[in-house]
Structures are given as C-alpha cells and as structure tokens.
Structure 1
Amino acid sequence: MMRVWVNGVENIGVAPLDRGLAYGDGVFATMQVANKTLLFLGAHLQRLQQGAIRLGFDWQVSSELLNLLQRQATSMERGCIKLLLTRGVGGRGYAVPSEPQVTEIVSLHAIPVHYKTWQQQGISLITSEVTLARQPRLAGIKHCNRLEQILIKSTPPPESFDDHLVLDTHNLVVESSMANIFLVKGKQIMTPVMSHCGVAGVMREQVIHGVLALGFTVITKAVPVSTLSDYESAFVTNSLLGIVDVTRINEVDFFKAQWTSSLRSSLDLTLY
C-alpha cells in the first residue's frame, strides 16, 4: 500500500475544501531517492518555495517536514518521494484566503520499471496533437494544474514510439509529456526557453551545470519543430528517469551522444 502523510500525519485524508483538490492551487516536486539519499533536495525545496511565491502564498520548509523526508529516504535504496503543497482549505469561490494554511502532502512511490530500459536503449518521440497554452505567469512552475498533460497522456503514442513531444500553440518545441528536452549540435546544447509555458525541471538545471563543466555551450531559445533535423543528438531529463537519449523524433533520427551515460553516472542517476 502506498504510504501518504498529510501535514505530518500518516494515513489521513485531505479536507474536501482544500484548494489543491478544488482548483489545483498548489505546486509539487517529484524527488528521486538513491542510496537512501534524496537527490538535489535543496534544489527541489527552493523551486517549491519559488513556485509558491509566484502563486502568491508563503511557504518555508519546517524542521519537522525535513526530518520526515530524510527519515523516509533512509528506508529506500531507490525510489520516489513526492511532496505536494496546496494553499490549504478555502471557500467555494476562486478568491484566495487572506491567511492560507498550507497543506503538505508527502507520498512514497516506486520508480517506473521501464525507465531502466529507456536509459539503456533510448526512446523515440512523436508530436502530440495537444499543444500547451501560453501563460507567462505560470511558465516554469510545476503547479498542480496538469490537465494538459493528462490530455496528452490520454492518447498513447503509436507502437513504434515511447512518448510524446509537446509543442506550444506557436508550434515551438517545449518538452516531452513529462521531461525537459535538450538538442545537441557539435559543442552547443540547446534547450527550449521556458518563458511562456512548460516546466523548468530541477534535473534540467543540474544537467545544464553538468554539460557546462564538460565544455559545452548551453543556449536557451525558441525552437521551431521544423528545425529538429538541424541537430545531431537529443536527450530528455527529469528527476526520476534521469538522462535518457532520444533516438528519433517523428521521422528525424538522432545519434546517441557518447557522454550522456557518464554524466548520468556522475549525477548518481543510473538505474540498476
């Protein structure tokens, strides 16, 4: 049975009028545990705090919550801890409470078993028919309104593809259905800018630091889907699947970059 804590108490429910349930009014982080340690915990907590501020409520991690997260991590060799924050209980309408009491939900999960295969073999992507709407005030945040991703996942990719590539309403590349994307040409690595939509993942940030240390130049910019054939290699990243090579997008084939496996290993992201 999945284990869940709400405001530090195990096996209790969320209030029916919680704004996370009613409106998706909150943010969340999906964190990987490796060797009993939460990877990049500080970066995850910082992004949660920044996301809460952008939604208009204040949150600081308490020592009690931090102890809970670290205690549960020590019980797992490899796994996932999800931390979800909502603005708490509110009234019927959209107007926010003047003094919100943040709800903290912690849950434990396994890492999907096919992620190991994806790391070893790479994946292929096909463009989803669902596009992401542009809303700069929410761009980059991992907020709880994920209906667009649900629509994307509601239609499985064709048998020869593993996941969807997602564009915005201007036909610009944003991400895959659940991961950030990087495109490689020579010593330049490009990743889509997150100023209009999409999630700026914690792993995206870590990989940018990693490839800069390897001597690459990293560029964030708008990427028309029509330019994908200009690149030699591609890979996707998130906190659970780590770094996964992309071997094909639609009809465009890519070479596996020679250094992605070593970068994955150096960040302790290789799944066994």
Structure 2
Amino acid sequence: MNKSFWQFTFVCALFVSAVTTVLSLSGALSLPVLVFPVLSLVIPFMVRRLKNAKFNDDLPLHMGYHTYSWAWWTVFSFLHTPFSFNVDNGITKALLLFVVYFIVQVLIELCGLLGTKFFNRTHRLGMIDEALDIIGYIIPIPFLYIGSILHIDLQDPMVYFMYASSMNVNILFAELVLLLVSLLVFVFYLYPRDLAYKGVRLLRIVITAAMWLAMNAHILYGGYIPEFILSLVPTVFPTYQGNPLIFITPALLEAGMIGVAVIIGALVERGIISQRRESI
C-alpha cells in the first residue's frame, strides 16, 4: 500500500460518508438506504478520473476489483444493516453514521486493493493458481449471503417466529445464486480465447462444472457421508445458532470442492493434449 492509495481512499471515504450522512438524515430522498451503495460505487470512479490528482498516477487499485469489493460489502450491508442506529440525539446519530460510512468505504477500497494484488499476482503454479483464482471469484458473494442466512439464531423463539417460514425459500435462492455465479466463473475464466485446442478446453469446462455439481449434489442431497464426519457437523457447521463460524466453514468446504473440480478438469485437459501431441 502506497501513499497514493491512502490519499485516494481518504478522499473517496470523506466525500461518500459526508454526502450520505447529510442526505440520509435530511429526508430529501424517498429511499435513503440506496444513497450509500450508489455513492460508494460511483464516487471512486469519479475521483479516479480527476486529471489533476497526483495520486491517480500510480494508484495500485484496479477499479474492476473496487467494483467486486463493493459488491461484497453491499450484500453484507443489506443483510446486516450496519447503518441502522436507534439514537435519539441527532448530532450523535450523524457522527455515528459518518464514522460507519467512512469505515465501510475504507474497507471497500482495502478489499479492492487485496483483490488487485491477489488476482494480478505472478502465476507460477499452473492449475493451482487457476483454482485459487476461480475460488476467489466464486466464494465471497454467495457465501456472504449463505452465511447470513445460516447465522440467524432460530433458537430464539422471537427470531424463529420471524424467519422460520421463509428460511427454505432463502436457502433455495442462495443455492441458485451459488450455482449461477459458479457456472459463470467456470465459463468466463476458462473460456478458450487464444488456445489451439479450443475443443479440449470446452470439454474441460464441462468436466469441471460436472464434477463441481456432482460433489455439491452428493453432500446436499443425501449422498453417503461417514458417521464420524456426520458427528462433527453440528460443531463444524453450527447452523442457525448465531455463530460466526458459519461464515467460514461452509466457504472453506466449497473452496475445497471447487479446487478439486478445477484440478480434475485441468488434468483431463493436459492428458488429452499430451496424447494428441504424441500422436502427431
């Protein structure tokens, strides 16, 4: 992280938090909840285009990963409402909102910088790097949503009364989001743009997606799982208990399955290409 990144982040966070706080508390807009998501996405692009801003010359943040990070935090914010305060004093509420908006905007840019560094790293490990990239693109948004659902504490009678009836629908929607995001990433990341063996690469995409679907279906829809593993499930996957671990362990399990599927697809692709070259 260099000086230009912190200058850029401070300018964006200051402007976004100040304008959002004023508009949210003034009652000038009918939907103040949308002010921060819109500004937190748009303002950094506007600041990035400032011609006289010296920090834009060597800014290490790629704006595509700013957008990706913004999507993570937008999903999380809508599900956990960190911007809602029950404070009677208007000045105190304004200060709290300003601070929270400022912090979240800084976190958006920090995660965007992390994404830039991670995805633009030197790739030396072949299929391992491909698996890590695909995991990085797939996991965050679906599992912020899934974790938020599974984190709800249904042991509380009031919470159970509020959420139990809609839980199955939410889980089904979360599965569809994961399915859609995963298949799109498999296709767009592995798509054969400049390869000689395009047919083989397309076969790899199909095999990767099929393996991933098979592993998920096995776990989610009644496949055989050893008893000693089943006995660990309540501890490792503490669903509907208000335990933050549920944001981590399902994501790690899914990351492992994605990695296995990507590596199997890559090995099949390499084997077919190797055989074709030997037969020439």
**What TM-score does the superposition give when structure 1 sets the normalisation length?**
0.29
More helix by share: 2
More strand by share: 1
**What TM-score does the superposition give when structure 2 sets the normalisation length?**
0.28
